[in-house]
Chains A and B, each alone.
Chain A
Amino acid sequence: MNDTYYKSEDLKKFGNVGEFQKPLADKFFDYYGEVFKDSQLTAREKSLIALAVAHAVQCPYCIDAYSSDAYEKGWSEGQMMEAVHVACAIRGGASLVHGVQMMNKVKEIAM
């Protein structure tokens, strides 16, 4: 079974989404380009944020793209892994904090 939903070569075709709806795609890519420019945060800092978010949303294309981009922009392996742990901690924390809700409910109904 070589058939998978995710194909690495599809990343290169991202720009083709405009084939079905060009005006919205153009607006998105213009916005995207603008977001990642040096501004109050540097393009380098934004790349590391993107890497963490890519892991949080578990997008294989984004992980592929921003692993390369962050490394090219000079982040070390250790720094990149720490960014992934930030994503992991927030995701894990997001589950765990709901434990308070669980506790509240249990305390409400327990004798």
Chain B
Amino acid sequence: MKSLKAQNNILADTHEQVEIIEHGQAGDLTLIPFQQKLEKSGLYPLKPTQIETFQVNIGKMCNQTCRHCHVDAGPDRKEIMTRETMQQCIDVLKENPELKTIDITGGAPELNPNFRWFIEEIKMLEKHVIVRCNLTIILANKKYSDLPQFYKQHHVEVVSSLPFYTQDRTDRQRGIGVFEDSIKALQMLNNAGYGKEGTALILNLVYNPAGAFLPAAQSSLEKEYKQVLKEKFAIEFNSLFTITNMPINRYLDYLLTSGNYQTYMEKLVNAYNPYAAENVMCRNTISVGWDGYLYDCDFNQMLELKVDCNSRHISDFNREKLNRRNIIIGQHCYGCTAGSGSSCGGTVVK
């Protein structure tokens, strides 16, 4: 499967995409504007609390082409963060001790040739580092098979997608053979001590619905995942994060082509939860794109909605200005406020 960009799909134009998200494909979708919901909740304009998490997307290249990917990542994507931009990120981290957690994502971040150097530099600053590892990269090539040891050496928290504990649903979303390779990779991480009691090596899994529906309760799913993965594959892990699929890029394409867009958006709107809105991740996170531009979150990044203040690039990073900005919102934001809410760390209402 090719990325939307390689297919020259209309959604590859982010302006078109934002139009569709806001008004539907025929321009006649009339849902309650997200802004109105926030106003009623006393949260508009949405402001940051304090930026503590620095999420960096170091490239859109990926060894997988998942059907729900909001990044539209894949082997044909060539956008990769340069070492110079990474150095600018490191400089910002040095100057801003309040940025405690560095969340590295992609694509498959490991495909960036400077990935290991970047982590080594950040760890010297004694920051907490999270890597969003797609698991199959560990088996994609011999040069990646030592990743579990590398992560262990640098005490990196590993967060990995496993959309379900059965092959069928996982492969439908992430590609044929992904489940089998993911299981092998999880076993390798376990062998390195990840997810094991008493090791302090954190391995968290991510559940994404494989279809046009919202995640079930995180605590129930976590219990089932733990039981099945342990019984069938002797796999252990720390926590399960349930994440709502965002109507962006390939998931939006899926919703539109399957005729599910309107129903899915109605579900999100009906499930709006003001407590989730209060705790959305964009309030304490800043998202850095592969080219160094700054965004409120990874989703605004994919829609190319840069932060609304004059600290828009890592080279102009100013935490105070960023803390005072208004967060850019749109109809896609309903994805983070539905039910128990959704963030890169799972639900936001516990």
Interface on A for B, CB 8 Å cutoff? 38, 42-44, 68, 71-74, 76
Contacts and interface: CB of A to CB of B under 8 A. Distances in A.
Given A44-B216, A68-B213, A74 B168 contact: no
Interface residues of B, number: 14
A74 to B, nearest CB: 6
A43 B213 contact: no
Given A72-B214, A74-B164, A76-B166, A43 B209 contact: no
Interface of B: 164, 166, 168-169, 209, 211, 213-217, 220-221, 224
A42 to B, nearest CB: 7
A43 B164 contact: no
B280 to A, nearest CB: 22
Nearest to B213: A72
Most chain A CB atoms below 10 A, which of B168, B215, B216: B216
Nearest to A72: B213
A18 B166 CA distance: 41
Nearest to A78: B168
A103 B168 CA distance: 47
A68 B263 CA distance: 12
Given A44-B224, A72-B216, A76-B166, 13 more contacts: A42-B220, A44-B216, A44-B220, A68-B213, A71-B211, A71-B213, A72-B213, A72-B214, A72-B215, A74-B164, A74-B216, A74-B221, A76-B168
B210 to A, nearest CB: 9
B221 A43 contact: no
Contacts of B213: 68, 71-72
B220 A38 contact: yes
B166 to A, nearest CB: 7
B265 to A, nearest CB: 14
Top-10 shortest CB links A-B: A72-B213, A73-B216, A72-B216, A68-B213, A44-B220, A74-B224, A43-B220, A42-B220, A74-B216, A76-B168
Contacts of A44: 216, 220, 224
Contacts of A73: 216, 220
A43 B168 contact: no
